[in-house]
Amino acid sequence: MKLALGQVNPTVGDLAGNVDRMIAMTRKAAAVSADLMVFPELAVSGYPPRDLVEIPHYLERNENELRRLARETSALGIAVIVGYAGSSEPGGSRPASNCAAYLRNGQVLHRQSKMLLPTYDVFDEWRYFEPAKNQQVWQLDGCRMAVTICEDVWNDKQFWDRRRYERDPVEELVQQGTDIVINIASSPYHMDKRKLRLNMISATARRWDVPIAMVNQVGGNDQLVFDGSSFVVGADGGIRARANSFREDLLFYDTEAGVGDIREQSSNECDALYDALVLGTRDYTGKCGFRSAIVGLSGGMDSSLTAAIAVDALGAENVMGVGMPGPFSSEGSISDAKQLAEALGIRFEIISINDAYATMTKALDTVFEGREPDTAEENLQARLRGDTLMALSNKFGSIVLTTGNKSEIAVGYCTLYGDMAGGLAVISDVPKTLVYKLARIVNQRRTGTIPESVFTKPPSAELRPDQKDTDSLPAYEVLDPILQLYVEQYEEPSAIAKKLGLPEDLIRDVTRKVERNEYKRQQAAPGLRVTSKAFGMGRRFPIAQRYSP
């Protein structure tokens, strides 16, 4: 059997557009005599559809488009397996099922629901879908296929120390007798996820002595980025076919010969991370209906990286950089921002906030009388910059990309309605130390784009004279390991202090800042998730609470 894996980039809710995309790819596969075309989990609906599946007409349209896919591929002489959102069986407690359908000769021959429904991290499938009670092996011209849906392969008791579910769908299907396991997936990216996914599925293939083909969605949908990276492993766990990462691809594998296409993938995780941020920015912007973006350029590292990502995502002609000098801005900040904009080839405007700041502080003088200048005056500058960017957004119809990194957002070193104002927080899940590494990736790909002076000058918000980030925070080389252990691994302060060899008082000061600023994070623009535990949909904490670790 010649197997084709269709690594597509669906848009949530664009049912007709998603099916059109799959029809076009199926024609390409049929043109080279593929026998079976396989598309990812919920490829008809897009993943994750969330509360859309609670709308009855949405499920009806999924079914209608599924049948259209069957009809329009019937004359091609190729069978199709595809994921869609289907209605649950009568008597179920939830309206929908996460389904795979087997299409051939214009008919829907088989349907299979997902058995294991994840509820951890960014997943909430138990809320929406009715789980399958059993599964069965399908056949195509004598080839027995065990079709599983994403999480159904993530429960091998020999791979995981702690299993999340009592049942193992792969084990149950293999015991029925199968020639190949096919896994249709929408498995979101985070750093090192590609390696984990491959190692896990390779171990399962070796355990059951059966080849496994995994086709994964690619693209960005809201805060999630899907890397694709579809592959086939042989019964020995070795790679037999491998697709591109972070782009659509059509991958072929010959089940009889045991060979397939193998694309190059970067093993450098920083390279992969940069590609993920570019893809996530491009898709979020485009799928929300924007064609262009605005970035406030401060001459600092965060805004420089965000601007470079925006250019790679949207094209230089669709990005505007805005310098907004204030009373404490250095000449170097303006010159660095201008040099960056010239290197990127983007439009650059300078709009001073000095007059607006003077007007506002004068208007507040009477109310503030007798009080020393503090964060109120500092944040006023940030909010005037936010107002400026949003005015440009309204006038030109461009999305504002915010530039705050994960380290700052974690401890609240950001201003509500100021530097947090915008439509997408591009690097909000990227710690500051990693920002510098990604900036080096930019300069490897575009020599000299980010000025060297941006790498060497101390980070500063420039909201008061000679201000530096280290006035309020530990050095980022110290702060980021603390945050990684506390935010991503939920370590206790005493354990962090012991593990890092740092004073416990310092750790507790940092963790208090993290807890105290939850109210800010829940008002932030959505951010692209690229680590194992991102703020937003992956880390859900109450705002009004008094637990102290």
What are the strands of the beta sheet with 231-233, ordered from one edge? Answer: 138-140, 143-149, 180-185, 212-216, 231-233, 239-242
Decide: 10 and 21 in contact? Cβ < 8 Å.
Answer: yes
User: Which pairs count as long-range contacts for 468-473, CB under 8 Å and 24+ apart, including other chains?
Assistant: 469/413, 472/413, 473/407, 473/411, 473/413
Decide: 243 and 228 in contact? Cβ < 8 Å.
Answer: yes
Local structure of residue 129 (DSSP, 8 states) = B
Residue among 501, 492, 499, 479 at smallest CA distance from 548: 492
3-class state of residue 323 by DSSP: strand
**Active-site annotation holds for 133:** no
3-class state of residue 338 by DSSP: helix
- Active-site residue among 63, 150, 408, 520? 150
The two three-digit tokens of residue 490, written as one number: 């939920």
**Active-site annotation holds for 63:** no
Instruction: Tell me which residue has tokens 């740092």.
Output: 502
Local structure of residue 447 (DSSP, 8 states) = T
CA separation for the pair 413, 411 (Å, rounded)? 6
Alpha helix ranges (H) inside 318-475:
331-344, 354-368, 375-396, 406-411, 432-445, 452-456
Residue among 170, 164, 180 at smallest CA distance from 2: 180
3-class state of residue 287 by DSSP: helix
Phi-psi region of 153 (alpha: psi -120 to 50; beta: other; left: phi over 0): alpha
CA separation for the pair 494, 104 (Å, rounded)? 60
Backbone angles phi, psi at 285, to 5 degrees: -65, -50
The angle, 0 to 180 degrees and rounded to 10, between the axes of the packed helices 354-368 and 375-396 is 140
- Active-site residue among 63, 65, 99, 114? 114
Phi-psi region of 266 (alpha: psi -120 to 50; beta: other; left: phi over 0): beta
Q: What does DSSP say about strands 224-227 and 2-7: parallel, antiparallel, or unpaired? A: unpaired
**Active-site annotation holds for 114:** yes
3-class state of residue 358 by DSSP: helix
CA separation for the pair 240, 250 (Å, rounded)? 15
Decide: 382 and 404 in contact? Cβ < 8 Å.
Answer: no
CA separation for the pair 213, 295 (Å, rounded)? 41
What residues are annotated to the active site? 41, 114, 150
